[in-house]
Chain A
Amino acid sequence: MKNARSVFVTALVLIGVVIGVGVWKGAIPPKFGTEGAIGAAKRYSSQQITDSDVRLGDGSIQSFIQSDLFHAIATNPDFQKVLKSDAFKNGVKVDNMLDVVADSRKAGHGQQDFSQLVASTDFQQMTASADFKKAIRDPKVQNLLANEDFQKWSATEDFKSYIADAQKGKNQDASKGVVKDAKSAEYKALTANADMKEALSNADFIAAAANTDMAKVIKENQKWLANQDFMTLLANEDFQTLVASEDYQNLVASEEFQHLVANEDFQKIAKNQDFQKWLKEDYAAVVAASEDMQKNKAQDQ
């Protein structure tokens, strides 16, 4: 019995040693080619580079570049036309426009929101109107729209009846081609300036005001209309075409666009002079320059 127990203990010890050696040598548990097993191939791999090893620079420009807005700017012919137009290149100061955006942001989402303005149906209808397109080319009409007195007056019933009468020709002296006076004090204050009076007589302006909800657009976007850069853009035919395009309307109605325009980082990027320069250049020039550079080289690898 004692002998049997010794044999049993010895056997246990031997088995233990075998198992221990097996584990130590890596043979237990079996890893490769065993029955009932899918063998994973053994490849040497040490600790790999991780996210924290890749320290990237400021990602705000990258965020904008990846946006649908940038895509539209870079590829949509209507956007391209606006960007390449002399009016945009030479006449528009993006910074000033962005200040208005920033001001409106500080005031909370309200009447001056750029994204709401460009996405509004009234604005799109107004800019699509042939009469408005003609009228806005006149610098005097531009000044009129920017004028504080006019903006106030345009919200009154007097303005409405003035436009209605003018449209019907009641207050128009056809023989002299001038528009008769309205009665309100705002009108009188306004027309103390001859240019303003002349602008108010502009037949295209009157038609546009009569056929679109210009008064509403003015009421909701006084600061924008007071911005000279925006006005330059508004008078630009390419911009008018862009605003009328379906692609543009879809884009400005998108959440991403609304979010982007309201984003502080975007404000910073858009004000960046280098970025503006890059944006205003033909995007293809970047590629063309690279290709020119590569052309003369005979690659070794």
Chain B
Amino acid sequence: MTRGTARLLAGITLACCLALPDAARAEYRVLETPHVRLIYQHPAQDFIVDHTARCFENSLRFHSRIFQYPPHEKITLILDDQSDFANAGVWCAPRNFLSTHLAPANFVYETGPSNERMNFTLNHEVAHIVTLDMAQQPERFFRGLFLGKVPEDADHPETMVYNVLTLPRRNAPRWHREGTAVFFETWMSGGLGRAQGPYDEMVFRAMVRDSTPFYDPLGLESEASKADFQVGVNSYLYGTRFSTWLAGQNSPEKFVEWVARRPGSRAYYANQFKHVFGTSLAQSWHQWVDWERSFQRANLDSIRRYPTTSSRDLSARALGSVSSAHLDSAARVLYAAVYYPGRLAHIAAIPLDGGPERALHEVKGPALYFVSSLAWDPDTHTLFYTADNDEWRDLCALDTRTGHSTVLQRDARVGDLAFNRVDKSLWGIRHFNGISTLVRMTPPYRDYRRVFSFPYGRDLYDLDIAPDGTRLAASLAEISGRHTLRLYDLGTLSQGDTTARTLYDFGASVPSSFVFSKDGRRLFGSSYYTGVSNIFRYDLDADSMDVVSNCETGFFRPLDLGGDSLVVFRYSGQGFVPAVIQARPLTDVSAITFYGAQVVEQHPELETWKVPSPSTIDLDSIGVVRGPYHGLRSVRLMTLVPVAEAYKDRGSAGLAAEFSDPLSFHRLSLSATYSPQSSLDDDERFHVSARYERPRWEAYARFNPASFYDFFGPTKTSRKGSNLGLAYHRQLLRDEPRTIEMRLGLDGWTGLERLPRDQNVEVPDDFDRLVSPYLQIKGSNVRSSIGAVDQEKGHRWSFLYGNNVVRFHHLDGETWLGFPLAQATLDLGVPLPLRKSSIWLRTAGGYSPGDRDEPFANFFLGGFGNNWVDHQEVKRYREAGSFPGIEIDNAAGTNFARAMIDLNLPPHTFQRLGTPALYGSWLRFSVFSSGLVTNMDAADLRRKLANVGVQADLRIQVFARQSMTLSSGYARAFERGAATQDEWMVSLKIL
């Protein structure tokens, strides 16, 4: 290749990058007060911005008063509409950052009682920020020293320590943080919240009833998040309950003293607990468990004062989270979407006459608790269901006879489906830009028409249509958190007239899943009216409501079987169990006691925690500035920290700096270190790295790059030389879990001694310069069951084309030569009958037409690839360049093919291995065997190798927040005509 050709190639690559459209052009606006930088999409979200700012200021005022917290930086708050249901999250390093979805709340099983979403969400999230961000000595000193709060950075793992030093309260378990925020949210909302949540009461009542052991703080973090169908929600459940008990037994002020970081407090949450309460956290936890058992026994006794309703289970096992169910009378089965540990979420056919449930079709993107929204057309045997339930929902149709599923509408954002058998219309609720809209679809259901958009804060849910097709029953939530059961006339509703008959006002209780009886004269649904989720029957003729069950745990999602028989879903510790009950009106059903109600009686000061109306906040008097968001202008130096790296086995020390804007649209990372050893040439003592990233773009420059990880183990990434690069990357397909990503880049080196990616391969003596344009496309569609530690099903593929364009320097001049290379991988996996286990076929192949003697034209494979201390993928043996059993880069060739069978055995989750500050979470084993052929087109140079190996990975949690993985592996490699080789691998992945 000539110099001109190389330049042309580089030019074309760059032109391709620039020609690609930059889709990240959406306009953001900002509303700033002295305390918040509220960023939103203009003009769509204009309507909610001021209210959000008022809610924020309202919440911050409360927390500042309670915690004596003077905000020392603006909190960045971004509104988005990325999900169909409300949710939010916070980050505290390097800035305080709060992200909140605009969508309506989810009312399923009344797991999260709430009032107006912004008011409620910000009460919760600001509690997180304040309790995490509060600082005393020594963190104030370290924040000053490092110029801010240091986030972990995989390139510089010392930042883990700096993070602990600058943000010590982040190192607390999730149950502690969520329990705290929920406690505040409840009392700031005047009692509406999970601290008085009926679902929470049910969970602990069921545990006591069934003599299920309680997790201790260690088991809660290590096992419950993996083995239980509610996974991470257990942190909310236990945390809320323990926090409420603690405040009840002591006082709200004592509780605040524990979670606050006031002068004289201890930095570590557990130490502060002992400091405040004079006893250990573990001891208190045991006391709470004893108390909880006795409290729930009293509630169970109260329920049992009257005869309880017996049920006949339709399934031998609990099905975890379940959707609404639909009855196929002809086939005598129930259809419901289910989601439980060990299986991918699926639509199940549950026989009414007994027998195991049968999986009909996988549900893509299931949601915890409601899994998917379902509607049933018995005439065409079509089950309508939703996918991507935690994002923008797709509408799908499943033929229950063939199991064939079709996507009808992508990103329709419609759920709460109901089918009108009379005119074949499908109804649903769309969530878009914060608004609930009733929509109607007609065959072939490829689009919808709006019927009515409810005002902000009024959300319709749990729809059902009468068998005669004339009426629609639904529940309506209001801003106050009040819920009513309503009946609409479909004829007038179709004309946009939303006049409804309010059947029953449930107050703060959710009227859940009310459905018509077979004759259309009654509605059956559930409510925690008595504190326990019982089944209620509403007689439309008599205009009367009756309770028809007295349950010890909770009955949900009733379905009329005819006569007095109802299918219900009974709550158990392992999830919901389909069962049949006889539903007859009861006159005697006792209520239970909510512990939260007792606590507020004992400590009436909690009544004063209720925040005033957000409308009392006068933004103008606070001082508001509005305008467009300018990312580049907002870039600031965030942290400056000392770092250490290794270069050619020599240590180096220096500084690393991070610059960014609040939305991280522009990020600049700089590091410079110096190796003082005289054994290094002068021109190799400085190590500089600069990386600039913005959405879809990345540019970097490095000089003699060094790495912290080169201190440890066989894998070395430091290189002599100067490196410049530019890359453009974007997602070509984003339909989780289906993704396709593209990366197009240009990478250049001078002064290299060894190949950039192959540490054991020296460049030729006459090497002068390397320019590598490349294109990489990666696709993935892998799924796993709830609580899994690895992918269990699907496929993953990649294609890489690159061209190593090299300038060689000879005595007689310079020559440019190009060495194109192409490499592809394909992995296919299926789950095994053993829970959370899978088997994968992993293949890789590469081809280069270049000179076999030229290093730049070869592929190099070998070794596990893990370093003793590492930050990359734990299962590195799966990657195309690995071949455990032989030395790194030992097998070379201008072409190669590799196939691997990878058996991933079920992980073992530990309930108790270590202490809350350092514990093992799970251990998993993988066994693999692979075959490799190189230089397939040259018999004399061809190598055929095989290997067999095993790898064990132990997940370790440090200070509750930091996940590390200790891996150990062994592999033996075989090659015809050569001695067998083996390799041991030990690695600790720290970030």
What is the interface of chain A, defined by CB distance below 8 A to chain B?
A: 32-33, 35-59, 61-63, 65-68, 71, 75, 247, 254, 256, 272, 274-275, 277-278, 281-282, 284-294, 296-301
Contact = CB atoms under 8 A, between A and B. Distances in A.
A53 B586 CA distance: 40
B184 interface: no
A192 to B, nearest CB: 48
B744 interface: no
A50 B80 contact: no
16 contacts: A36-B588, A38-B586, A38-B588, A41-B591, A44-B594, A45-B190, A45-B191, A62-B47, A62-B433, A274-B42, A282-B23, A286-B41, A290-B78, A291-B734, A300-B128, A301-B125
Contacts of B447: 75, 247
Given A39-B591, A288-B23, A53 B613 contact: yes
Interface string B80-97: 101000000111100001
Given A49-B119, A56-B51, A275-B43, 18 more contacts: A32-B591, A37-B588, A38-B587, A40-B530, A41-B531, A41-B532, A42-B597, A44-B601, A46-B190, A46-B610, A49-B480, A67-B450, A278-B42, A289-B24, A290-B78, A297-B91, A300-B170, A301-B181
B43 A278 contact: yes
Contact of A54 (B90, B132, B457): B457
A275 B192 CA distance: 38
Contacts of A46: 190-191, 607, 610
B14 to A, nearest CB: 21
A61 B46 contact: yes
B432 interface: yes
B773 interface: no
- Identify the 10 closest CB pairs spanning chains A and B, nearest first: A41-B531, A39-B591, A292-B695, A46-B190, A48-B480, A286-B26, A44-B191, A53-B613, A289-B24, A41-B591
A44 B600 contact: yes
B547 interface: yes
A54 B614 contact: yes
A155 to B, nearest CB: 38
Nearest to A31: B591
A33 B530 CA distance: 10
Interface in B456-507: 456-457, 478-482, 507
A57 B23 contact: no
B82 A296 contact: no
B763 interface: no
A71 B586 CA distance: 48
A74 B178 CA distance: 38
B451 to A, nearest CB: 10
A65 B102 CA distance: 14
Interface residues of B, number: 100
B151 A54 contact: no
Nearest to B628: A274
A47 B190 contact: yes
A54 B49 CA distance: 11
B50 interface: yes
Nearest to B495: A255
Contact of B481 (A48, A65, A299): A48
Contacts, number: 227
Interface in B604-656: 607, 610, 613-615
A281 B448 CA distance: 23
B153 to A, nearest CB: 10
A294 B24 CA distance: 13
B24 A59 contact: no
B91 A299 contact: yes
B791 interface: no
A282 B614 CA distance: 35
B44 A65 contact: yes
A66 B435 contact: yes
Contacts of B43: 61, 272, 274-275, 278
Contact of B453 (A53, A66, A289, A294): A66
A33 B450 contact: no
The interface centre, meaning the residue of A45, A291, A298 with most chain B CB atoms within 10 A of its CB, is A45
A296 B664 contact: yes
A57 B601 CA distance: 39
A277 B305 CA distance: 66
A62 B453 CA distance: 10
Contacts of B593: 41-42
Contacts of B734: 291
Most B-side CB within 10 Å, residue of A38, A47, A256: A38
A225 B594 CA distance: 70
Which of A35, A41, A292, A299 gathers most chain B CB within 10 Å? A41
Contacts of B449: 68, 254
B696 interface: yes
Contact of A289 (B25, B42, B507, B586): B25
Contacts of B482: 48
Given A33-B302, A286-B26, A301-B181, A45 B508 contact: yes
A41 B508 CA distance: 11
Contact of B90 (A277, A290, A301): A301
Nearest to B25: A285
B271 interface: no
B47 A58 contact: yes
A65 B665 CA distance: 27
B433 A299 contact: no
A66 B450 contact: yes
Contacts of A44: 191, 196, 594, 596-597, 600-601, 607
A18 B658 CA distance: 75
B97 A297 contact: yes
B594 A43 contact: yes
Contacts of B119: 49, 53-54
Contacts of B529: 38, 40-41
